[in-house]
Amino acid sequence: MKILVADDDSVSRHLMQRTLQKFGYEVILAENGREAAEILSRSDGPRLALIDWMMPELDGPELCREVRGFHQEGEYIYIVLLTSKQSSEDIVAGLEAGADDYITKPCQPAELRARLHTGCRILSLEEKLVQAREEMRYKATHDALTSIWNRAAILSLMQSELERSVRENKSTSVILCDIDHFKQVNDNHGHLVGDIVLQEVANRLKSIVRSYDAVGRYGGEEFLILLSHCDDSTLEARAEDVRAAIAATPIVAGAEALSISVSVGGVSCPKWSPELPMERILAQADVALYRAKSEGRNRTAVADILTTA
């Protein structure tokens, strides 16, 4: 693990470096508080810091306060103050400034090692908690089978995208696509093959849209696509790209090579406002999708432009 040693005394700094290297740490040195703050602010900076109380430019408590200020949302940095101060008032001041622990000079190597080991345990626990939180967040927003946005998440993104389109005075388009004859896939080949088809369709949809567009599983075999900065002049071509991406190549599921197609319905919203509810937009896209299916499937249809007028 990387550790920062901040001390304005060159001899003390390098003696501490040698000690910590014997403990197995990768040591980074700073000779004043301002340099230490710059190092700790980096995205790849150390998450463990041993800093002297008395330093030029920023002393130990000031450095603690600055680090806590710019790392409120980032990875936690465990800070140990190295000090000759031993009064309870000074110790309280250092801890209240943001230090996690302190060790008095001259420090014993065994005590130093134990206190830093405590910091490493806490950082390890924080990493596990962050990982668990991110896993929970992912599961709450992504479809378990296809790994794309789930219904609740894609609808939330749709609301955000419509609000952004107002701020940027840009048009947003919405596409609904439905796998043709999907029930027959399940009936004739089994649900495991059906799951593979859903996964591959989702993968192809993700690959055909731009990085700032969004694809979600709307329900069953239906998918919802949000096209940012896409108006009615380009919607039809984008919808056809989606259709073609699925129909172009059979989907291989075990020994089966299945010709799969989708029907696509789209609608463009050049002038959105809260007076135009999302439900109406989705309903219009659904009408277009139904028209594509009624005209023979494996087709695209675009609804009339939606406005609040």
CB 164 within 8 A of CB 275: no
CB 38 within 8 A of CB 13: no
Catalytic residue among 127, 221, 222, 240: 221
CB 269 within 8 A of CB 279: no
Angstrom distance (rounded) from CA 4 to CA 54: 16
Of 193, 149, 185, 150, nearest to 262 by C-alpha is 185
Peptide bond into 106 cis (omega under 30): yes
Angle between helices 109-141 and 10-23 (to 10 degrees): 70
Instruction: Check if 221 is active-site.
Output: yes
| Amino acid symbol at 109 | P
Q: Kindly list the catalytic residues.
A: 221
